[in-house]
Amino acid sequence: MTQEDLAEAADCHPNYVGGVERGERNVALLNILYFARALEVRPETLFAALTDRDISRLPAKSARRLRKP
């Protein structure tokens, strides 16, 4: 699925999808629900794919909060 396809299915702008994909945008819970519906997955599936590498690319404060204790 392209960013344009996802944006259309989730009823948002392709630039927003691109910003989310690049980690430049914070995603509201409602938009996560829209993305999940558009992708035909459960919302928790979008979080299950997070890896330590993904987390390490976040700002330090955010990364610390997401790492397991």
Say whether domain 3-66 belongs to CATH 1.10.260.40.
yes
Contacts of 59 (CB under 8 A, 6+ apart): none
Highest-scoring range by mean pLDDT, 6-20, 35-49, 51-65? 6-20
Q: Structural domain boundaries of the chain?
A: 3-66
Mean pLDDT of 39-50: 87
The pLDDT assigned to 68 comes to 61
The answer to whether the pTM exceeds 0.85 is no
